[in-house]
Amino acid sequence: MKINYISILVLLIISLSSCSSDDDAISTDLTAASPGELAITFDNQVGDTDFVLNQEFTINSQTVTLNQLRYWVSNVSLINDQGEVIVIDDSYFLIEETDAISIQDGAYEYPATKRETITLSGVPAGNYTGISYAIGIDSKYNDNLSLQAGELSQLNGMTNISWMWHTSYIFTAIKGKIVNSESVLKLETGLNDSYRELTLNFDQALVVNASDTSDLLIKADITGMLQGVDFTETPVIGASTPEAMNLMADNFQNATFSLEKATDENL
């Protein structure tokens, strides 16, 4: 009988040890699979100089000061190392550096704001090799302002009733003046034709998990946004200047953004 008791005791110890080992493995797997956060900073610059509101800069051989820089970043998706595209739902974000703005004919004032960083939450854990996003608002929401997603709102002064026969979003807005001139700059893109998508590939895989917030630093060059724009000829860009507006939209797609840093450690 003693031998039976000993045998049973040995079997129990082995069984408990096996269960403990299995539990640890499951816990580790669950932690590894837990979603994480990705913070993306759009570092607005003029060439290699940090952008500052109301400071003089030379752009396209003209000395200008800008009191407003605003653009929509939308429909963000991440590409993992398996080539899968991970779509971030409701990803509509307004990047902006602006003085106070009078809204709805002075009904209220939108405060001076600086916002360069957005945070994507609930990003599936994994190794990512690239990011895609759009500048502007897709036609589903641009043609129907009653629909809401992400940060879309008519209360931030980024809608316009003068584009055509209906109200739509302003996709990008750059405002200021030419120094030593009476010319006021109002450079905007909008309408569905201005919507642009782009992809940035990482030099090395970016790890996203639940242990800390991963970071992307993307340079946004204002000289690229305005490449080829003649401020003297077209100080105001909008629906009435479709060629200039398309040029700006193309610039946002092809000449504005470049990856500066991707890391899984805090900046």
Dist CA 87 CA 199 (whole Å): 13
Q: What is the pLDDT of residue 27?
A: 28
The residues that bridge with 257 in the sheet, in sequence order, are: 220
Q: What's the pLDDT band for 212 if we cut at 50, 70, 90?
A: confident
Number of other residues whose CB lies within 10 A of the CB of residue 193? 14
Average pLDDT, stretch 234-254? 96
* Cα dihedral across residues 104, 69, 54, 111: positive or negative: positive
| 257 has pLDDT over 90 | yes
Lowest mean pLDDT, pick from 19-28, 160-169, 232-241: 19-28
Evaluate whether 223 touches 54 at the Cβ level (below 8 Å).
no
The residues that bridge with 219 in the sheet, in sequence order, are: 43, 258
Task: List pLDDT tens digits, range 94-115.
Answer: 999 999 998 877 788 999 999 9
- Per-domain residue ranges of the chain: 1-33, 34-263
> Using DSSP, how many helices (H) and how many strands (E) does the chain show?
4, 18
| 142 has pLDDT over 50 | yes
Average pLDDT, stretch 236-259? 96
Task: List pLDDT tens digits, range 9-60.
Answer: 444 434 444 444 443 333 223 344 689 999 999 999 999 999 999 999 999 9
| Percent of the chain whose predicted confidence (pLDDT) is above 70 | 83
* Cα dihedral across residues 152, 154, 160, 163: positive or negative: positive
Q: What letter represents residue 215's amino acid?
A: D
Answer with the residue of higher pLDDT: 189 or 18. Answer: 189
Average pLDDT, stretch 204-219? 93
Q: Which tokens sit at 23?
A: 């539990």
Q: What is the pLDDT of residue 166?
A: 56
Average pLDDT, stretch 114-119? 97
